Structure 1
Amino acid sequence: MQTSKKWLSGLGLVALGLVLASCGQNKSTSSTTNKTLTVTASQAIATADPNKADDIASQAAIAQFMEGLYTTNQKGKIVPAIATKIVKPTNGGKTYTFNLRHNAKWSNGQAVTAADFVYSLQRQVNPKTKSQEVGHVAEIKNATAITSGKKAVSSLGAKAIGKYKLQITLKQKVPYFNYRLATEIYPLKQSFTEKYGNKYGTTATKTLSNGPYVLKDWDGTSDTWRYAKNTHYYAAKSVKIKNVKVQTVKTNTTAQNLFESNAVQVTQITGTQVASAQQGKLNKNLTITKLNQLYFMPWNQKRTLTKNADLRRAVSYALNRQSLVKNVLKDGSVAATSLVPTGNTKNPTTGKDFNTDTGNLYTYSPAKAKKYWRRAQASLGKKKITLQLLTNDNDVNKSVAEFIQAAIEKNLSGVTVNVKSVPLTNEISTLSKGNFDFATLSWSSDFQDPIDFLNKASVTNSVDFGKFKNTQYESLIAKITAGTQSKTARYQTMQQAAKLVAEKQGVTPLYQTAAAHLISSKVGGVHFTLLRDALYRYAYWK
């Protein structure tokens, strides 16, 4: 689950609670002015290079010490950052012209300029950089051709037309491009970056910041690191906590114990811990937030058994998703009703949620499961089959796999499911080679638009492991991405796509993930949103 989104391990989101505060927050007292906020993460940073980060932990960390043209506020709304205002694109929605604030500085005191954004964008699409996140900038004019080596890096649709004036031209209108600007696109200082070359972002000392904090005490493999207030940040006065220490904790029990002893003030819990917290003394510290993430099952369309649509339909109907989230996950996750997470998008005409309009496309029906299994048996000419379910080897994914295995074997007599659990990197490698029947995966998106989930069943998707191909579906995806439809027409096309992929079971969604965090009552302004994890610039001590 990566590229402008990320593949997720079992614990899902890094436990960095999205720390947000209102404009009227309490002022820090002298006793807390230099007090360190300590939080946990479920995995360590892999890289501090924004052009290369493709995992949740790294991207969540980068959001602390880097800032783009836009950012998000306390409620997750996009607001200006380095740019002075939210820009209305011209040229049919393809050209964005930004005026940059003159007081934005790097942590070394140098000015943040339009050239810094141009350099970063060009570096990201340059094939020599070998970025796994070119999807973040793929909509920019000539980006794809440059990445494939067909055009020069200088032809990218990004140029400085003054020290503090930047112009970005897209290949077509992109309705969600503001999200890219707020959560995925950052500047880089060329002189500093080229000083370290491929080593840039591999340690704290080889990283330059332009955001509210500076990365400290990270040697590239550290399980702990620190965010220190950036004194050169243009809004430094609004940053109330000077130091944030992050501690990697891989077990939920340890994380909760640290929280209860006040060794950490923000941490994440999952599963039975959430249910226990809801019923116990920690309930007042618990907050649960639905995320822009979805667990789903890709099916290998190259294999005879899993290519059978009736078999896929039988499996989907055999799964009681409500039972899965309530009795297995127990962390606030929500049963999937479409391939799009709830809260991702609203009907532009009525304001209704996308999933309210689709209705529940993935109901539980043992009777229908048996009906489609009989059809599959007839077309396959087999009464009994064995399937292998490939999954990530963390506790959450193992539990989900066991649930799927039991549900299928209970409702589909003659189907045997063998579970193969491997580390996430091995799972992705196995999927890439097409050596699987079906699997469980999770996709996390950095922007709110159904296309980033709908394309998981499209050949246009760069991580199309299952190779599902349906001419009608591809036609709908092409319309959605063409940038030529009105908002209403595009929404209706996305509704059609969601219903069609459910009918064909191109991929089979399971549940929308949620993050459950424990937050100390001593810390103010801690909130969470669908899209982002943590922004400590808004945190303060009560």
Structure 2
Amino acid sequence: MKLNKWLFSTGIATLALVLASCGTQSSSKKQDKTLSVTATQAMATADPDKADDVVSQEAIAQFMEGLYTTNTRGKVVPAIATKVVKPTNGGKTYTFNLRHNAKWSNGAPVTAADFVYSFQRQVDPKTKSQEVGHVAEIQNATAITKGKKAVSTLGVKALGKYKLQIKLIQKVPYFNYRLATELYPLNQKFTEKYGNKYGTSAKTTLANGPYVLKGWNGTNDTWSYSRNAKYYDKKAVRIKTVKVQTVKTNTTAQNMFESNAVQVTQITGTQVADAKQGALKKQLKITKMNQLYFMLWNQKRAELKNTALRQAVSYAMNRQSLAKNVLKDGSVAATSLVPTGNTKNPTTGKDFNADTGNLYPYSPAKAKEYWQKAQASLGTKHLTLQLLTNDNDINKSVAEYIQAAIEKNLKGVTVNVKSVPLTNEISTLNKGNFDFATLGWSSDFQDPVDFLNKASITNSVDFGKFNDPQYEALIKTIAAGTQSKTDRYQTMQAAAKMIAEKQGVTPLYQTSAAHLISSKVGGVHVTLLRDVLYRYAYWK
């Protein structure tokens, strides 16, 4: 779910030199050796218009390519577009010339019509995309998703076979990142051949990026990326095959790395603490992410609609202890609904959260006080709640912590944990068949709005259905793009403070990613904005 962030400065010329240097170090024969890596969950879909989980989006980035992409430092660089363009019409109109040598893995050319089709398909209500927010700033997108305008009225037009125009409803400072990390073309003929089954297996997926998806039947825990012979820059893709295996336990991931069964993996908790001090120290890379992990509440259930209950639960959480003693991976306690480092005060340069202060303190006394208020309004002293989470080690450990904290500080509340595979969790959330749940959001651009709207009805993944008119008014003002930078910042501050009072969603911690990367492999970089792109990897 995703996922907003960005900076850095290494030009294309520098990147080309880096890749050229890799070529001099590595023979083509060495690059034929398979690179083995892990994923924390199985893929849910390979359809870029439908993917709303981090693992699927990370996978799609390996075999799909949009108008832009990012380099090893997270900087936006051209991909299918020939250059990063400057918008006209007050920042609302983008006109792109596309490269003529981009092809799909079946040999068909990648054209402007492919982008038009994909974007229209994403806003089409029939597609039921959970990520229509990716295109929400394009003209008429919102009206189309609500069924009020025809799909053909979307502000995306093919001006020629290799010329594309996008019109926005307003200036969007982070739109380049949408184009680099969220928005992809689709070949209409191939996609419509499989209809709703598109992207449900490797067979029903078509690639236009550095790799082609192989060996995925839609449910299995292993798959691979094979270098795309039709990719326009295939010579720069050093490693021929990348094999992915889902590993849900930390000890298994580390053991596989130590035995060289995998060369790139993610670890958490005590494994990170141990690796910092042990033999793996030089192969450990920790990156703070623009991601937030939070609890969401099903507002369709009377008990969970009670603000005092949600406040009580929030005060029962010792987030500092959770980060230090449970996660142990560099993650930090959330102090607002916006990750630290996401945004600075345009006047003072202070971090967003330095201005909000800690909006989510730990207070057993206040937890008890609000629980008593909730008991009075609900007319009961006992409550049993089910906490829904996905079933990897991290999320199960966090769920157990939440369960223990609530039952310790809110006497009379019983929490039952239900851990299921991510695909099942998303399905259950979509159906509204839950009490409260844990979920992570990873943003692809650096702006508070993508986190603040997690408590808004404008959120494309609005599982909890929280709806507060005052909060919606603030979100509407923030999104309108009519305020000065200073005024918009102050409105976002007000929104962060309001949602802490009303607990539309309840943030827990900002994630950090700890990766073990083999010293035998180069070009593997995790940035603030996204996970590894294997197109840059090479065997040393």
Q: TM-score by structure 2 length?
A: 0.88
Of 466, 469, 490, which aligns to 1:468? Answer: 466
Give the number of aligned pairs. Answer: 525
Aligned CA RMSD, in angstroms, stands at 2.8
Structure 1 residues 154-303: aligned runs within 5 Å:
154-301=152-299
What letter corresponds to residue 316 of structure 2 in structure 1?
Answer: A
What letter corresponds to residue 493 of structure 2 in structure 1?
Answer: Q
2:494 counterpart SS class: helix
Of 315, 318, 323, which aligns to 1:320? Answer: 318
1:304 shift after superposition: 5.3
1:256 counterpart SS class: helix
Q: Which moved more, 1:279-288 or 1:364-373?
A: 364-373
Q: 1:28 to 1:193 in 2, by over 3 A?
A: farther
Q: 1:123 to 1:262 in 2, by over 3 A?
A: same
Residues 271-301 of structure 1 show CA distances to partners (whole Å, capped at 9, x for unaligned) of 2222222232122211122222222122344
The residue that corresponds to 1:507 in the other structure is 505
CA contact (8 A) 1:44 1:221 kept: yes
CA contact (8 A) 1:22 1:525 kept: no
Equivalent pairs: percent with the same residue? Answer: 77
CA contact (8 A) 2:406 2:415 kept: no
Q: CA separation in 2, counterparts of 1:130 and 1:362? A: 34
Residues 141-175 of structure 1 show CA distances to partners (whole Å, capped at 9, x for unaligned) of 22233334433322221111122211011233333
1:240 shift after superposition: 1.9
The residue that corresponds to 1:420 in the other structure is 417
The residue that corresponds to 1:337 in the other structure is 335
Q: CA separation in 2, counterparts of 1:405 and 1:218? A: 35
The residue that corresponds to 1:392 in the other structure is 389
What letter corresponds to residue 265 of structure 2 in structure 1?
Answer: T
CA contact (8 A) 1:207 1:215 kept: yes
Pairing 1:532–2:530 present: yes
5+ residue gaps, structure 2:
5-13
The residue that corresponds to 1:346 in the other structure is 344
CA contact (8 A) 1:21 1:525 kept: no
Pairing 1:112–2:110 present: yes
Q: CA separation in 1, counterparts of 2:435 and 2:205? A: 42
5+ residue gaps, structure 1:
6-19
CA contact (8 A) 1:69 1:82 kept: yes
Of 141, 144, 148, which aligns to 1:143? Answer: 141
What letter corresponds to residue 464 of structure 1 in structure 2?
Answer: D
Q: CA separation in 2, counterparts of 1:186 and 1:393? A: 27
1:538 shift after superposition: 1.1
Q: CA separation in 2, counterparts of 1:507 and 1:446? A: 20
What letter corresponds to residue 90 of structure 1 in structure 2?
Answer: T
1:32 counterpart SS class: helix
Pairing 1:101–2:93 present: no
Q: CA separation in 2, counterparts of 1:358 and 1:89? A: 33
The residue that corresponds to 1:15 in the other structure is none
CA contact (8 A) 2:295 2:438 kept: yes
The residue that corresponds to 2:7 in the other structure is none
CA contact (8 A) 2:388 2:434 kept: no
1:399 shift after superposition: 2.5
The residue that corresponds to 1:495 in the other structure is 493
Q: 1:237 to 1:433 in 2, by over 3 A?
A: closer
1:114 shift after superposition: 1.3
Of 55, 62, 65, which aligns to 1:64? Answer: 62
The residue that corresponds to 1:459 in the other structure is 457
Structure 1 residues 122-137: aligned runs within 5 Å:
122-137=120-135
The residue that corresponds to 1:42 in the other structure is 40
2:280 counterpart SS class: helix
CA contact (8 A) 1:390 1:420 kept: yes
Residues 471-512 of structure 1 show CA distances to partners (whole Å, capped at 9, x for unaligned) of 322211110111212233222211111111112323221111
Q: CA separation in 2, counterparts of 1:106 and 1:339? A: 40
CA contact (8 A) 2:209 2:228 kept: yes
CA contact (8 A) 2:131 2:461 kept: no
1:315 shift after superposition: 2.9
Q: CA separation in 1, counterparts of 2:192 and 2:376? A: 63
1:79 counterpart SS class: strand
The residue that corresponds to 1:406 in the other structure is 404
What letter corresponds to residue 360 of structure 2 in structure 1?
Answer: Y
The residue that corresponds to 1:446 in the other structure is 444
Q: CA separation in 2, counterparts of 1:41 and 1:426? A: 17
Q: 1:333 to 1:154 in 2, by over 3 A?
A: same
CA contact (8 A) 2:288 2:331 kept: yes
Q: 1:346 to 1:189 in 2, by over 3 A?
A: same
Q: TM-score by structure 1 length?
A: 0.88
Instruction: Indicate the structure whose relative CO is greater, using CA pairs within 8 Å and at least 6 residues apart.
Output: 1
Q: CA separation in 2, counterparts of 1:113 and 1:483? A: 31
